Chain A
Amino acid sequence: MSKSALTITGLSKSFGGLEVIDNVSFKVPKGSKMALIGPNGAGKTTVFNLLTGVYPIDSGTIELDGVDITHIPARHRITKGLSRSFQNIRLMPHLSAIENVMLGQHSRARSLLHQLFPLGLLPRNRWAAQARRALNDAGLTEYPGQIVADLPYGIQKRIEIVRAIVSEPSVLLLDEPAAGLNEAETEDLLILLRKVSAQGVSILVVEHDMNFVRNLCDNVVVLNFGRKIFDGTPDQVHLDPDVREAFLGSDQDEPVASDQAPVQGDSNVT
């Protein structure tokens, strides 16, 4: 049995009396690529927010690489190895692409010496070089110095993912990374994520694009109304009766459909 990178046990959360996440448990095996799917409002982004510490949980535990991070404050979780991207782009609009990526390195550069090193004055420093390399690996070669607010949506989305990757996490949480990307960009993203996974990073993606999920992921967890209703492989997911019922009659196409326009995900954002 491979070790688990991320173990979630009995996760529960209510907002003002409304139970949003109900006793969710699953494991992300080390080095695997897992998808977290479900209809709108199922609670997927909420799970991410709970994992990263944006909201405190009501009950349950979160274990990262065997370490209990349930009560660790949000800003320390990234140093433990948990990094994420966001459903709606959350880059720093006034910073350049490379600066945004360098923010991702912050958790590995927390010492006073690192904080006071004049990165901007010595452009050939290793942090900038690493950030530029990371952008190149993702196919974003032309944009390092540009202020991100002016860049196209697809580019911004990928910069966000690169930012999450450079923190060298052990678990990477990606919230709808393929949403709004065209076919070529989606293909580039798949290549990038496979590369990242090959380096030992475990990946958990929230996605609606089932083609993407089938191409990337080994496992799928399905949420509906805050509860886990399926935990298995991408091949089996469309056969499961609970899953079919969850998706039937909603605005979502069933998981079988391969051509999905990206749909507005959960309304719970950070």
Chain B
Amino acid sequence: MLLLILAWRNLFRNKRRTFIAGAAIGLGLASLIFTDGLILGMEQTMVRNLTASFLGQGQIHAAGFRQTTAVEKTIHGLKEVVGRLERDPRVSHFAVRALSQGMLSSAADYRPVEVIGVEPDRERLVSQLDDMIVKGRFFTDRNPRDVVVGADLAKDLAVSIGDRVVLTVAQSQTGTLAQDLFFVSGVYRFNSRDLDSGMALILLPKAQDLLALGQNAHEIVLDFRNPDLAGDSKNAFWREYSQGGDEALGWPELMPQVELAFRYSELSLYVLGFILFGVVAFGIINTLFMSIYERIFEFGVLRAIGTRALRVAGMIVLEAAALAVVSIAIGMVFGFLATALFSRVGIDYRGIEMMGVTIRNLIYPVFRVRQFWFYPAWVIVFTVVTSVYPAAYAARIRPAEAMRKTL
């Protein structure tokens, strides 16, 4: 106890040095906190961009649908699944879709497209397509002959709002060709070549009719109240809905390359942490040694009067710990301020396209609890560990020699 008080007071005997060392380490911690927040914010924004745009946080299909995209592979027990989803408190929104390959032709040209039958009311809540409409509307009239296409596709086909197009698909089971007339009712722009040139959206009942699907559909897109659930592949949700021939998957499984990119950035965070601690180590050792030199006479006296070596060492270690505490305080304050500032203002990565989606928003660093206990804890641990070397030195000071040093 006495040691602790002594250590603490020793620390403040040279306020300036303590403060400088504390600031250095604190700044390191602050940057770690900030970078952590930044990477997390970036991940979240990108996931949000990716999933909210069209993919959804999770999807349900018939097992095997994703590999072959055969029109016959519709979701088993669609009605029951929909009912369960409606009652499921974990799910915030979901939408049902029918999917098929097809051909969209205008007088000018033709293009292969992915035909998507959607439910506009539900679809609005789950994807951003309706926000990306640049011309026309997103099925506000509910006309079964409405078709909504991407801006690139509209350009390729030389069509605009109100123009006629013919959609050709192969029906379920028979493969018989079915054609129908549609009028372009909306054009969206996502700034992604894939999304803007390859999809044609029609009303779900119309798609079911055209494809001879009856009441079936191919895909349910979901969003959760807690977005973290989507990234958690171990969560019970996935198992519960992967029954009866269906399979439910979260975005990490649907787009594994995104997940990997994140792992890679987190790796960079570790490297940063490592670097930081390297610098911290030198700072600590330096500071402690300075402080020891200065007080070498004192140490001599202490040892001369019988203080055991271990206690002297212990005092140094406690001083280091105390310094760590000071540093952490400084670090957390600055880390908090920096992260808070940018989480308001945001960092501009706009216009960059990553994974096929253009970043449209600013990146906001995100706080998380671990920034304020995990990293500080490591600072303390590391500080204490590196203090062992100076502490050992202090413990081995020979009283007689020490008392002879005056400067």
Q: Do A and B bind each other?
A: no
Q: Which residues from chain A sit less than 8 Å from chain B, CB to CB?
A: none
